[in-house]
Structure 1
Amino acid sequence: MKSINESDFRRLDLNLLLVFHVLLHERNVTRAAARLFIGQPALSGALKRLRAAVGDELFVRTSHGMTPTPRALELAQVIEPLLLSLQQALQARPAFDPARAERVFRIGLSDALEVALMPQLMQRLATEAPGVRLIASAADRTTAPDQLDAADIELAVGVFPDCAAWHRQRALFDWHFVCVYNPALVKARGKRLTLKEYLRHPHLLTSFSADLSGLVDELLREQGLTRQVVFSSRNFATNPFIVRQMAAITTVPTFAAATWRDALGLAVSPLPFDTPRYAVSLLWTAARDGDPGLKWLIALIGEVFGGKPVD
């Protein structure tokens, strides 16, 4: 395929092609000017520039109006289909057929959401869109907006309380904190831990700031209480394997707890004190509103996970 030499177009205003098209069909300067919503002098000036660019008179005034020259008729065979194709391309909305599509989507989310959501989503993709692939990148409420704006990811999943005006958001489900432990090692009198039982054991913390204190510790301090945090990590993945072998407790979102309970046989208990509820949502930029593939993926994720709180 030959490359386009931009210097060949320096003398030609591409708007002149539309002038050529209208004159070719109207064969009259006055009618052509009216059709283009410009004055007759402006159209005459445009025709002058077009003639200079092509090196041909193109249209000659005769008793039958503005008659195209042989060179104009030759050019028309190229320009007319070109303008028609351009019009169709600008008006047509690109389609996305998931069954046939070959595309890679980049999604930003936490490792806990990745574990909770990706297995079911990948199962749906394997059935409905086998050519679609996903790349998951680490993202949270502080990093995801910049990653979207830089086009490092196309979609983010998480808790996003503050969004820019150019971001779009779709709610999926709510979550709150619960605690997870090995029932063979952490003994509870009932199906839920009491405050005394909760504070008796060491704790594992997931902290994006790599600290030994988090929201739960702030809530406990308000009651004059403290817990013993013996391990902190930025990642969720390690904690369930620690609590399987150690008489310890980890406090995590409900969607993570449900995954660990089902996969590892751990126990899940409500917290013995109140904590806030949060909304997980999808986030993308307004610049991608016209992307049919991304629209399809957003709709699919909304269908699978929307409105279904993970307990």
Structure 2
Amino acid sequence: MTDIRERDFRGVDLNLLITLHVLLRERSVSRAAACLHVGQPAVSGALARLRAVFGDPLLVRIPGGMQPTPRALALQAALVPVLQGIQALVTEEPAFDPGATQRTFRIGLPDWVDAWLLAPLLARLHRDAPDARVQVLITDRFRLPDMLAREEVDFAVGGFHGAPGWQHQRPLATVHYCCMHRPGLLGGDAALTLDRYVALPHLLVTYRNALEGTVDEALRTLGRSRHVAYTSPRFSSLPRVLQQVPAIATVPDVLAPSWQRDFGLVRAPAPLELPPIEVVIAFHAAREQDPALRWLFEVIASIVDAPAD
């Protein structure tokens, strides 16, 4: 049995940890006070005590709110599972029952993952968890850490590399790239060669208004470049553009079947080697033991692993 040394808790009011949790979630003394049903001076005093206990500012003022320090984010990742464990002991929370749940799941998805997985996921939930609700928020690897820290989403699905340590990830799938264009663009049965590829105008999805991306990095290693004629933050806008414009788009290959079926586009292998997208389920470390999310992760994994029709 782990030895708990009572003396280590001297001078520490465990209620301060609840206040810390709410402050890190709300990032506002006034909002935290409202959630805790106490006055703002009490929360300000608690924050001062917390800073003294941990020897760290924890939250610093920025325009429009307060920003947690790295130490505060590490504390949040460690603290929330502890509080959830105590809450489970007190409330005797029952095991998760998807058939009875009325929970709202907030899921962050890049729009290409939305197009790939949302329909089969909602169909599965309609069957197995008919009273559950789903809110989808569009995200990307740049916005996701802050969205998870603010609890705007429960988890996200996508290619989220370069994540902070408190953002846990569950591997889901490896997705490769392919090229999409309208019929007749290459003429007859002509193959998409690298020379033809770089000569065509390109459509690019970018989340930070850049005119370059993964393809351009790969082309540079070959001493080549392309002309990006159009950019968008959404993959969903590309198929209709490709129907009308003699251009090409290099996209995750999971989009190809629906773009071929619904928009009459043609698929071709990319004429250069591109790094695949390692798709993961990303979530805050504090949600590791959430039984509802763990069930939903298994549902999503089963959809990805199901054989294509």
Letter in 2 for 1:210: N
Task: Tell me the distance in 1 between the aligned counterparts of 2:185 and 2:88.
Answer: 68
Aligned to 1:135: 135
- Contact preservation (8 Å) 2:186, 2:192: no
Aligned to 1:174: 174
Q: Secondary structure at the match of 1:237?
A: helix
Alpha-carbon deviation of 1:91? 7.9
Task: Tell me the distance in 2 between the aligned counterparts of 1:127 and 1:207.
Answer: 35
- Contact preservation (8 Å) 1:204, 1:248: yes
Alpha-carbon deviation of 1:187? 2.6
**Normalising by structure 1, what TM-score?**
0.66
CA RMSD for the aligned pairs? Answer: 2.4
Q: Secondary structure at the match of 2:161?
A: coil
Alpha-carbon deviation of 1:238? 0.9
Structure 1: tracts of 5 or more residues without a match? 1-85
Task: Tell me the distance in 1 between the aligned counterparts of 2:101 and 2:91.
Answer: 22
Alpha-carbon deviation of 1:161? 2.5
- Contact preservation (8 Å) 2:105, 2:133: yes
Of 277-286 and 178-187, deviating more is 178-187
Q: Secondary structure at the match of 2:259?
A: helix
Aligned to 1:261: 260
Where do 1:91-240 residues align within 5 Å?
92-187=92-187, 189-190=189-190, 192-240=191-239
Letter in 2 for 1:121: L
Alpha-carbon deviation of 1:172? 1.0
Residues 1:196 and 1:292: Cα distance change in structure 2 (over 3 Å) = same
Residues 1:263 and 1:87: Cα distance change in structure 2 (over 3 Å) = closer
Task: Tell me the distance in 1 between the aligned counterparts of 2:261 and 2:110.
Answer: 20
Query: Which structure has the larger Rg over C-alpha atoms?
Result: 1
Task: Tell me the distance in 2 between the aligned counterparts of 1:301 and 1:88.
Answer: 26
Q: Residue deviations 1:58-101, cap 9 Å, x none?
A: xxxxxxxxxxxxxxxxxxxxxxxxxxxx9995383532211121
Residues 1:88 and 1:125: Cα distance change in structure 2 (over 3 Å) = closer
Task: Tell me the distance in 2 between the aligned counterparts of 1:120 and 1:97.
Answer: 20
Give aligned pairs, total.
223
Alpha-carbon deviation of 1:230? 1.3
Letter in 2 for 1:260: W
Residues 1:125 and 1:214: Cα distance change in structure 2 (over 3 Å) = same
**Normalising by structure 2, what TM-score?**
0.66
Where do 1:9-48 residues align within 5 Å?
none
Instruction: Provide the identity percentage.
Output: 36
Letter in 2 for 1:117: L
- Contact preservation (8 Å) 1:186, 1:247: no
Residues 1:87 and 1:129: Cα distance change in structure 2 (over 3 Å) = closer
Moved over 6 A (4+): none
Aligned to 1:300: 299
Q: Secondary structure at the match of 1:238?
A: helix
Task: Tell me the distance in 2 between the aligned counterparts of 1:87 and 1:166.
Answer: 22
Task: Tell me the distance in 1 between the aligned counterparts of 2:149 and 2:165.
Answer: 12
Task: Tell me the distance in 2 between the aligned counterparts of 1:164 and 1:93.
Answer: 30
Alpha-carbon deviation of 1:184? 3.3
Aligned to 2:79: none
Where do 1:245-256 residues align within 5 Å?
245-256=244-255
Structure 2: tracts of 5 or more residues without a match? 1-85
